[in-house]
Chains A and B, each alone.
Chain A
């Protein structure tokens, strides 16, 4: 049993590492300039010159996938950070202090949490418009409730524990107790939430960009590339496979690691 666990973890980490490598390298180097067009090289199948082939403008798909992967990573990271920071903040405060604010915020939180993230994000983007930063804002808000919920229930448990009582008896200030005593203790739970959140963020970003409500042209994004590639499924199926499999590798890797961490 022990052996099998490691197996999944290794594969999971390997997949994440692969995509991460593509994304990080993509920040500094791509085989071809991302937007460089070439009339003579339109819709080429994969070859040594173009690993994943070329698109309808003769752009190198591999280079675009690399750049798209960094965009996805960047957005997902921002989204999870926004969600986690604000979520932890509200979750910890409401749980620790309780009262009417806690009741109201939790009602709002429950309603928001009931919505599938893509739906809620669509609603927000309908109001503020598409675009990379708007998407981060929309998804960031959408991701707050799950963190609030996790942190709140954890803090509720922790604050009744002896070490908190002791700290209180010793005259420590509430904020000090929260930040220096309770927060470090909920780290493990937060870590899993971050992983799950990150996977969801990657999926949501791809979905929104696919719908044309996320990253806008001409910036490459994995979701956008998929929607563009759909029209070339007949004569250039590799165009859709490249970004699709990249997303899948990332989300599957994250899924495997989370499953083992749980």
Chain B
């Protein structure tokens, strides 16, 4: 319990620091949101008035305090580009990104376990080598290039899906989910590869352990051995690893959204960066950062729960 409280305390301090740093950073970016907002022929007075309205004239620390106070109530300000509440903008983009990330996590889990075990029956055998080579390639391929390749084969050559044809989940949930499949594959493959290798090495290592030998000596079947002993012991680090991977998957989603023209958090982030829409960039950066830090804390806590030796 004390461990968990300590972890949560660190988490909160980290979040405050992250939010302050990102706030500080984005109020120092060159380029004036007020000028960008009013366009070519705005007169000085109008720019000044807007700067006043946007609160750009106050000291940074006051702006931060103000911002943090509202942010805690779910109010991240108004987008300078769209004149809409940031929270609303972000909330609308979230489903696509989260679905994509979860989708990828499912694929990673479903594919890497069987694939990781595939070669362990005979380490360094033909199957094992094949899996190793496959995972080497998987780890090396950039997600966006994979996305482009998938687009080319399935969208253009085979014409199985509409390239870039994002479907709104509210209109057609099935269409939405099936559209996200290929992007999810593009996000998942490199992580699948890492995971497969990790599981493979862990299983091979466990199999060499004394207790497995003893169990085998007692006449347990290979299948039983694998399920009852090896897998359970492999599970713990693997689950932790999966939790840590969530951050990578989120990062992957952001890049892959660009390839498949998915209106998710990533596209909003990239668009907002070039529009100098600070409130939006800030909110997304903090959102992503928080997710990463929280996932890591969860992984830590989980690791501790599963293995009390870690304190």
Residues of B within 8 A of A116 (CB): 247-248, 250-252, 292
Across the two chains, which residue of chain B brings its CB closest to A206?
Answer: B142
How distant is the Cα of A125 from the Cα of B137 in the complex, in angstroms?
A: 29
Residues of A within 8 A of B292 (CB): 114-116, 119
Determine how close the nearest CB of chain B comes to the CB of A114; give it in whole angstroms.
5
| A127 contacts B26, C-beta separation under 8 Å | yes
Q: Is A85 an interface residue (CB 8 A)?
A: no
| A255 contacts B248, C-beta separation under 8 Å | no
| A247 contacts B124, C-beta separation under 8 Å | no
How distant is the Cα of A256 from the Cα of B129 in the complex, in angstroms?
A: 13
| B293 contacts A114, C-beta separation under 8 Å | yes
Quick one: which of A170-196 are within 8 Å of B by CB?
none
Residues of A within 8 A of B254 (CB): 118-119, 122
How distant is the Cα of A251 from the Cα of B156 in the complex, in angstroms?
A: 26
| A255 contacts B140, C-beta separation under 8 Å | yes
Across the two chains, which residue of chain B brings its CB closest to A119?
Answer: B251
Residues of B within 8 A of A1 (CB): 124
Q: Is B141 an interface residue (CB 8 A)?
A: yes
How distant is the Cα of A116 from the Cα of B106 in the complex, in angstroms?
A: 20
Partner of B152, one of A4, A123, A125, A240: A240
**Chain A interface: which of B175-183, B203-211, B281-289, B302-310?**
B281-289
Determine how close the nearest CB of chain A comes to the CB of B136; give it in whole angstroms.
5
Across the two chains, which residue of chain B brings its CB closest to A234?
Answer: B156
Q: Is A211 an interface residue (CB 8 A)?
A: yes
Partner of A207, one of B18, B144, B288, B296: B144
Q: Is B151 an interface residue (CB 8 A)?
A: yes
Across the two chains, which residue of chain A brings its CB closest to B30?
Answer: A129
**How many of B's residues come within 8 Å of A, CB to CB?**
47
With A116-B250, A126-B26, A213-B273 as contacts: A4 and B255 at CB distance below 8 Å:
no
Residues of A within 8 A of B186 (CB): none
With A4-B124, A115-B289 as contacts: A251 and B144 at CB distance below 8 Å:
no
Bitwise, B33-53 to A at CB < 8 A (1) or not (0) is 000000000000000000000
| B152 contacts A126, C-beta separation under 8 Å | no
Residues of A within 8 A of B152 (CB): 233, 237, 240
How distant is the Cα of A1 from the Cα of B251 in the complex, in angstroms?
A: 37
Residues of A within 8 A of B251 (CB): 116, 118-119
Determine how close the nearest CB of chain A comes to the CB of B98; give it in whole angstroms.
16
Across the two chains, which residue of chain B brings its CB closest to A114?
Answer: B296
With A119-B288, A247-B142, A256-B136 as contacts: A126 and B273 at CB distance below 8 Å:
yes
| B124 contacts A240, C-beta separation under 8 Å | no
Residues of A within 8 A of B140 (CB): 199, 248, 251-252, 254-255
How distant is the Cα of A248 from the Cα of B142 in the complex, in angstroms?
A: 7
Quick one: which of A114-146 are within 8 Å of B by CB?
114-116, 118-119, 122-123, 125-127, 129
| B289 contacts A126, C-beta separation under 8 Å | no
Determine how close the nearest CB of chain A comes to the CB of B1; give it in whole angstroms.
22
Quick one: which of A84-132 are within 8 Å of B by CB?
107, 111, 114-116, 118-119, 122-123, 125-127, 129
| B285 contacts A126, C-beta separation under 8 Å | yes
Q: Is A38 an interface residue (CB 8 A)?
A: no
Q: Is B258 an interface residue (CB 8 A)?
A: yes
Determine how close the nearest CB of chain B comes to the CB of A235; give it in whole angstroms.
10
How distant is the Cα of A1 from the Cα of B252 in the complex, in angstroms?
A: 35
Determine how close the nearest CB of chain A comes to the CB of B87; give it in whole angstroms.
19
How distant is the Cα of A126 from the Cα of B266 in the complex, in angstroms?
A: 13
Residues of A within 8 A of B18 (CB): 111
Bitwise, B143-184 to A at CB < 8 A (1) or not (0) is 111001101100010000000000000000000000000000
Across the two chains, which residue of chain A brings its CB closest to B132?
Answer: A259
| B259 contacts A207, C-beta separation under 8 Å | no
Residues of B within 8 A of A115 (CB): 247, 289, 292
Q: Is B63 an interface residue (CB 8 A)?
A: no
Partner of B259, one of A126, A203, A230: A230
> 28 A-B residue contacts at CB 8 Å?
A107-B10, A107-B14, A111-B293, A114-B247, A114-B292, A114-B296, A116-B251, A119-B247, A119-B288, A122-B273, A126-B25, A126-B29, A127-B29, A203-B142, A206-B142, A207-B142, A210-B142, A210-B144, A210-B255, A212-B270, A212-B274, A213-B270, A226-B148, A227-B144, A230-B151, A234-B156, A248-B141, A259-B136
Q: Which residues of A contact B (CB under 8 A)?
A: 1, 4, 107, 111, 114-116, 118-119, 122-123, 125-127, 129, 199, 203, 206-207, 210-213, 223, 226-227, 229-230, 233-234, 237, 240, 244, 247-248, 251-252, 254-256, 259
Q: Which residues of B contact A (CB under 8 A)?
A: 10, 14, 17-18, 22, 25-26, 28-30, 124, 129, 136-137, 139-145, 148-149, 151-152, 156, 244, 247-248, 250-252, 254-255, 258-259, 269-270, 273-274, 281, 285, 288-289, 292-293, 296
Knowing that A107-B10, A230-B148 touch, tell me 17 more A-B residue pairs with CB under 8 angstroms: A4-B124, A114-B292, A115-B247, A118-B251, A119-B247, A119-B250, A126-B281, A127-B25, A129-B30, A203-B142, A206-B145, A210-B144, A210-B255, A211-B258, A233-B156, A244-B145, A255-B136
